[in-house]
Amino acid sequence: MKKLLLPFIVFVIFFIGNYHAVAEIRLPSILGSHMVLQQKSEVNLWGWCAPSENINVKVSWDTTRYVTKGTSGAKWELKIKTPAAGGPFTITINNKTVLEDVMTGEVWICSGQSNMEWSGDQKLKQSLDEAPNATNQKIRFFYVPKTTSDFPQEDVRAGWKVCTPEEMVHFSAIGYFFGKKLQNDLNVPVGLINSNWGGTPAEVWTPKEVIDKDQVLKEASLKLNPSGGWPIIPGSTYHAMIAPLTKFRIAGAIWYQGESNTQNYKSYSHLMAKMIGAWRDAWGYSFPFFYVQIAPFAYGQNFIGALLREQQTACLSIPRTGMVVVHDLVDDVTNIHPVKKMEVANRLASLALADTYGVKGLVYKYPMYRGLVIERNRIRILFDNVPNGLMATAKDLNEFYIAGEDQKFLFASARIEGNTVIVWNKAVKEPVAVRFGFANTTIPNLFSKEGMPVNIFRTDTWEVKTDAVVK
């Protein structure tokens, strides 16, 4: 019996003794060749290995050696310091795993629903026209595939790609044009992480525990309409498409979403505050979050689009956020996917360049309602962000409505006076409230003299009836 056991014992000792030598270090897909690391930062590297395995990392931009040891759970993690924008660099792990063509620059995540997702795959003309000229070694793409999970995941099945015509045509048009402007204006490499899904409400991009702990959000999530085309379970895309990215340092996020929350608009600003807060908690720092106000569209219920846009305006109270207004970029209010993605992207990029990178001389602020003054039978509207006054793109101002205490709004005449607008209707002797552009499909013609569209608003807080549209 002893003779039979001896070879087995020797084999076990040999296997255990050599396990570390044959164990393979594995990295999450977000860490790979062709990636862009956030410049001048302390960034994470992490992965899986044998328990207690020694990890030795060398980077080509300096002589620093970074070391750590695998945990009992067969994981490893360490931080490295990145240089100013540049590359290509290499990162070598244990003299075996080599990440090549690594750049340092600015990294942004591009998320939301279909208006962020739209690309040449949907026959978007701007993407198709741009594709032949899209070769750019300093722009890199990481495309997160659509997937869901009941619990937070640690990895996704994807990889970094260099911007080529073949890759660009499949990537978010807004993401690409945003990145192109940043890359051109800052002259640095740009990494773009595409994580979006058409039709999704914001609840699915918010951690489930955040929704479950908030009675308002939990009740609102139960009102989401089931569909075979996209998920509605809270947290399901966050767990699978955001959580695996949260160790990877980013400069900020851009977001285009809201159309799928028009049915439960009342909780949207509260939801976004919770979602943005959860993302920032997961990343561990308060990165900038810039978003697009939804565009005019012929929804099946009156005012739900305007009410959602009102909620998005309220989101500006969340620290380090910014919103771009796009109602002037819409040609067809029956198309929920406006085709001018490049213009939207450039507005997002101007906001980021000015607000995050401190670029001077850019026009990026939209005129916003500040207050009113009742002047007998007229109301004077006051605005912020109109340093040089207002202008109209037609002879007469449109989309102004005025009401008295009876809450019945009538179409109003309006006249620009410097930085203000005077509004009146002879039938309303004692006006108390004004609405501007406050409907689903309105495209107002009031701008700042710098060409920035005035954000829609209402001065009242009265209940708005969202009856079905009569066809």
How far apart CA 442 and CA 428 sit, in angstroms, is 23
Give the C-alpha distances (Å, rounded to integers) separating 37 from 88, 247, 454.
Answer: 11, 12, 37
CA distance readout (Å), 226 to 54, 67, 271: 49, 49, 19
In a 3-state reduction of DSSP, which class is residue 70?
coil
Contact 140, 163 (CB under 8 A): yes
pTM: 0.94
Q: What is the pLDDT of residue 24?
A: 83
What is the reported pLDDT for 311?
Answer: 98
Number of Cβ atoms within 10 Å of the Cβ of 183: 21
Token pair 């722009």 in the structure block, residue: 139
Domain spans of the chain, in order of start: 2-100, 104-355, 368-458
Residue 441 CB contacts under 8 Å (≥ 6 apart), including other chains: 296, 297, 298, 305, 333
Residue bearing tokens 């164990």: 23
Report the DSSP beta bridge partners of residue 57.
Answer: 66, 93
Tell me phi and psi for residue 283, to 5 degrees: -75, -25
- CB burial of 22-53 (b: ≥16 within 10 Å; e: otherwise) equals ebebebbebbbebbbbbbebebbbbbbbbeeb
Domain 368-458 in the same topology as domain 2-100: yes
In the numeric block, the tokens 């999530």 are attached to 221
First to last CA, the chain: 90
User: Do you find a cis peptide bond into 88, omega within 30 degrees of 0?
Assistant: yes
- Closest by CA position to 87, among listed 162, 138, 159: 138
Cis peptide before 288 (omega within 30 of 0): no
Among 376, 462, 454, 461, which residue's Cα sits nearest to residue 422? 376
- Indicate the helix (H) or strand (E) that contains 65: strand 65-69
User: pLDDT value at position 225?
Assistant: 82
Q: Kindly state the tokens that stand for 194.
A: 């595409």
pLDDT attached to residue 471: 59
Class of the CATH-defined domain 368-458: mainly beta
Residue positions counted in the chain: 471
Residue pair 263/225 in contact by the 8 Å Cβ criterion: yes
Find out whether 220 and 192 touch, Cβ atoms under 8 Å: no
Q: Which of 394, 393, 402 is nearest to 447 (CA)?
A: 393
Amino acid at 158: A
CATH of span 104-355: 3.40.50.1110
- Which of the 8 DSSP states describes residue 71? -
- State the Cα–Cα distance between residues 168 and 135, nearest whole angstrom: 8
Helical (H) or strand (E) element with 93: strand 86-93
Q: Which CATH number fits domain 2-100: 2.40.110.10, 2.60.120.200, 1.10.1740.10, 2.60.40.10?
A: 2.60.40.10
Tens digit of each residue's pLDDT, the chain (471 residues): 444 444 444 444 444 444 444 458 999 999 999 999 999 999 999 999 999 999 999 999 999 999 999 999 999 999 999 999 999 999 999 999 999 999 999 999 999 999 999 999 999 999 999 999 999 999 999 999 999 999 999 999 999 999 999 999 999 999 999 999 999 999 999 999 999 999 999 999 999 999 999 999 999 999 898 876 899 999 999 999 999 999 999 999 999 999 999 999 999 999 999 999 999 999 999 999 999 999 999 999 999 999 999 999 999 999 999 999 999 999 999 999 999 999 999 999 999 999 999 999 999 999 999 999 999 999 999 999 999 999 999 999 999 999 999 999 999 999 999 999 999 999 999 999 999 999 999 999 999 999 999 999 999 999 999 988 855
Q: How many helices (H) and strands (E) does the chain have?
A: 11, 23
Closest CA to 206 of 228, 231, 230, 239: 239
* Segment (H or E) for 265: none
Per the CB < 8 A criterion, the answer to whether 272 and 315 are in contact is yes
Sign of CA dihedral 261, 264, 265, 270: negative
Distance, CA of 360 to CA of 321 (rounded, Å): 19
